[in-house]
Structure 1
Amino acid sequence: MATVKRSPNGKKWRVRWYDPDGNERAKDFDRSRDAKNYGADMEASKAKGRYVDLSSKTTVAEYARQWAEMRPHKESTAKRVESTIRNHVEGTRFGSMRLVSVRHSHAQAWATGRAAVLAPSTLRVVVYTVSAIFKAAIADQQHPGLSPFLNVALPEQPQARLVPLSVAQVRALADAVPDRCRAMVITQAGLGLRLGELLALTREDVDFLRRRANVQWQFRPGSRKRVRPKTKLSERPIPLPGFVADALALHMKEYPPLRDGSVFHNSRGGVWTHAAYGTKVLGDAVERAGLPEGTTSHDLRHHFASVLLAAGESVVAVAEWLGHANADLVVRVYGHLMPDSDQRMRQRMDAAWADADQVRTAGPLQAV
């Protein structure tokens, strides 16, 4: 139990207690009542499993490093987290603060300061990471109370409306790339693959008999090593359209898969990297095809989604084929590309009211 006695100089009241690890702690107060109340709070927090050592000198940056080391991050995520801590926590006033003393106002001031140097989308990723660090600190009994990042305000993120590539534009791009890359453009547009998934496609992943492609692997940027997709939902079967099957069959006849099964490879017999194909080959082809500046391989994925949604395909099904966890992102990005939705709404409302008109009683309604 906590005890309260006069401090050695006799001018203050000192409360002593033991933390959950058995270490003796002490704190001085001007009034005996305050010392007793504080001691009672410490004992209550221990009993509830919510004890936090408020005298801890661990800084935000120090705990962030500890948190990052404990997390089972994949290589790409670990690099992003390390960059966030190094560039946006360490070296800042916020990062040098004691973890236990951070309040909502401190978190808001830090986020506002980062907003001055980061794009809105990047800012959200950085704030999300640091917010996760504080959630872990609370669970680890290293920070008292609620997360200081709760309800932190961020600048609005302008969302430009997506204008997808048309079939004619995709064909122009396929005609502008080297012959051995033509099927790559068609396959990505017809299956909605991410670039890393496209580059890692193997002969075994293409099931011509069942007319299906199975996404099981990906190449990460800068790597030629096949790894599993980031989430289980990214490992998915996708219906194989006829024009994609034809393009792949012709491609594999002219450019047989490598010994490891790689469908797409360069003239030197090696697999493509993100930079070599996605940046150099496609970048040059975009200019030759006269496509909008800034067009990337990801626009072929947008093409896939937009064609299906405009044809009335289920948003949930499109999300599954894209490998998204839910349909919310699909609705946010592609919702405006369903031009017949307004017309369907009008038709359904008119039909409902027309049916109601047919069963209306003749003459004015009688009061009961």
Structure 2
Amino acid sequence: MARVWIEDRATQRDYVAAMEKWRAAKKAGGKRAEPGRWRVRWYGPDGKPKALTCAKLPQAEKEQQALIQRLDKGTYRDPKQGKALVSEVAEQWFGSLRRPGERTKADYRELLDLYVLPKWGTWPVASIRWEDVSAWLTELCKTPGKRGRVLSPARIGKTHLVLSMVMKYAVKTGKISISPATDHELPQDDDDDDHVYLTHAQVADLVDAAGQHGPLLLVLAYCGIRWGEVSALKAGRVQLDARRLRIVQAYTRKRGGGVLLKDVKNHEKRSVPVLASLVPDLKPLVAGRGRDALVFVGKDGDVMGYGEFRSAVFDPAVKAAGLGDLGLTPHKLRHTAASLAIAAGADVKVVQQMLGHKSAAMTLDVYGHLFPERLDEVADALDIGRAAALAARTALAA
């Protein structure tokens, strides 16, 4: 058991002197609290002596028992660490980030400056309670954001994520024992991201309407890769003999203009299958070109910008194909790729790899409703196994 003891300061010189000053100040009308007579003492996990002064003995005994439990269970945190301001901890957390790309870090920085620090910056990390965070989330749902519009569920979720990561950093660095930002109910989008699932015939109509850019739409609709990934696809990574696309990099838009080449989202480098029927469409785009040449380029021969593609190619093709009422975007062709693959019998792990999701659970969260009900299939397989076992047993008995 951890050693935590209570010290009576009644006869200690510094306490006696402090009491004399307090009595004189009280007689003069002062309202300062009486000096604490009882001091709880202990040694922290670092071996250094610690102390906490209390005015009353029952309070000191309560603190003593709490400290013994935390020290024995390994949940002890130095009370002084919890006095660190959220603004200080947030900057330490942000400075420790190593994996996120430039765009992601910029998003974190924006949310910190717009929503997290204005609310929590001056709070000591140990003073934030779960109910404080819950009330803040409710406020975010009802109050217009910095741009004058009510925040979307996704924006609120990302803002909460940033606070959660700051609090997690505070836990890991010993400032608090439990994060107050966990287990909160977050708002959800009712429109399910307006998923659009095109049929094979609708994809064909869209590809025909796009003319020379048809192969790009075929890749988006049947390979399911993201816009940043397809715009960064290089000829050396189009493996037509093996019918694979090697997805290792992606372009992302920089704040203020321009693009940045980075690793794929979640650092999930992967190989994506290519339909045999797409090989003739892709072969002219890579034949005789250097390994580092971009497969799909803009009108100036450089990286194809998303805005340029939408306005000059995609939106006109959507309208010409008679699909203008579906709210279709290049990104939503990922939904089509997933739905067509699932309808063709692909299991969740195949769809996960194709789309580059971090986990199969994420794929099921988004597309689980598209997977066919397989309970009867399982029951039928069990019936076959049971019948075979019974037949074998009957044969042995005969």
TM-score normalised according to structure 1 size: 0.81
Contact 1:4 1:35 in 2 (8 A): no
Structure 1 pair 206–21 and aligned structure 2 pair: CA distance change class (3 A):
same
2:243 to 182, 205, 211: 211
1:110 to 136, 142, 146: 136
> Following the alignment from structure 1 to structure 2, what is the Cα–Cα distance between the partners of residues 104 and 127?
13
Contact 1:170 1:300 in 2 (8 A): no
Please say if 1:65 is aligned against 2:87. no
Contact 2:154 2:188 in 1 (8 A): no
Q: Look up the match of 1:308.
A: 341
Letter of the 2:275 counterpart? P
The count of corresponding residues between Structure 1 and Structure 2 is 351
1:228 to 235, 238, 263: 263
More helix by share: 2
Deviation at 1:227, TM superposition (A): 2.4
Correspondences of 1:231-270 after superposition (within 5 Å): 231-232=266-267, 234-252=268-286, 257=289, 260-270=292-302
> Following the alignment from structure 2 to structure 1, what is the Cα–Cα distance between the partners of residues 187 and 49?
46
Letter of the 1:13 counterpart? G
Deviation at 1:270, TM superposition (A): 1.2
Structure 1 pair 204–358 and aligned structure 2 pair: CA distance change class (3 A):
closer
> Following the alignment from structure 1 to structure 2, what is the Cα–Cα distance between the partners of residues 306 and 315?
11
Residue aligned with 2:197, SS: coil
Q: CA RMSD in A?
A: 3.4
Letter of the 1:211 counterpart? R
Q: Which runs of 5+ in 2 are unaligned?
A: 21-33, 143-149, 391-398
> Following the alignment from structure 1 to structure 2, what is the Cα–Cα distance between the partners of residues 74 and 347?
44
Structure 1 pair 55–133 and aligned structure 2 pair: CA distance change class (3 A):
closer
Letter of the 2:336 counterpart? H
Q: Percent identity, aligned pairs only? A: 26
Contact 1:162 1:333 in 2 (8 A): no
Contact 2:85 2:123 in 1 (8 A): yes
Q: Look up the match of 1:29.
A: 54
Q: Which runs of 5+ in 1 are unaligned?
A: 361-368
Q: Look up the match of 2:28.
A: none
Contact 2:235 2:290 in 1 (8 A): no
1:315-342 deviation line (CA, Å, top 9, x unaligned): 211111111122223223223334xx34
Deviation at 1:225, TM superposition (A): 4.3
2:9 to 5, 8, 14: 5
Structure 1 pair 350–206 and aligned structure 2 pair: CA distance change class (3 A):
closer
Structure 1 pair 230–359 and aligned structure 2 pair: CA distance change class (3 A):
closer
Structure 1 pair 337–153 and aligned structure 2 pair: CA distance change class (3 A):
closer
Deviation at 1:307, TM superposition (A): 0.8
Letter of the 1:91 counterpart? P
1:162-189 deviation line (CA, Å, top 9, x unaligned): 340122222222223352x221111221
Residue aligned with 2:253, SS: coil
Residue aligned with 1:183, SS: helix
1:133 to 162, 166, 170: 166
Q: Look up the match of 2:195.
A: 162
> Following the alignment from structure 1 to structure 2, what is the Cα–Cα distance between the partners of residues 135 and 120?
22
Letter of the 2:114 counterpart? N
Q: Which moved more, 1:325-334 or 1:44-53?
A: 44-53
Structure 1 pair 245–225 and aligned structure 2 pair: CA distance change class (3 A):
farther
Q: Look up the match of 2:308.
A: 276
Contact 1:174 1:185 in 2 (8 A): yes
1:143-173 deviation line (CA, Å, top 9, x unaligned): 2x32212322333442537340122222222
Q: Look up the match of 1:187.
A: 219
> Following the alignment from structure 2 to structure 1, what is the Cα–Cα distance between the partners of residues 219 and 341?
15
Letter of the 1:85 counterpart? L
1:80 to 85, 107, 115: 107
Q: Look up the match of 2:180.
A: 148
Q: Look up the match of 1:90.
A: 117
Q: Look up the match of 2:156.
A: 123
Letter of the 2:240 counterpart? F
Letter of the 2:9 counterpart? K
Letter of the 1:75 counterpart? E
Contact 2:224 2:355 in 1 (8 A): yes
Q: Look up the match of 2:395.
A: none
TM-score normalised according to structure 2 size: 0.76
> Following the alignment from structure 1 to structure 2, what is the Cα–Cα distance between the partners of residues 96 and 225?
35
> Following the alignment from structure 1 to structure 2, what is the Cα–Cα distance between the partners of residues 332 and 20?
43
Q: Which moved more, 1:289-298 or 1:153-162?
A: 153-162
1:51-72 deviation line (CA, Å, top 9, x unaligned): 3234854322332122111221
Residue aligned with 1:227, SS: strand
Deviation at 1:304, TM superposition (A): 1.2
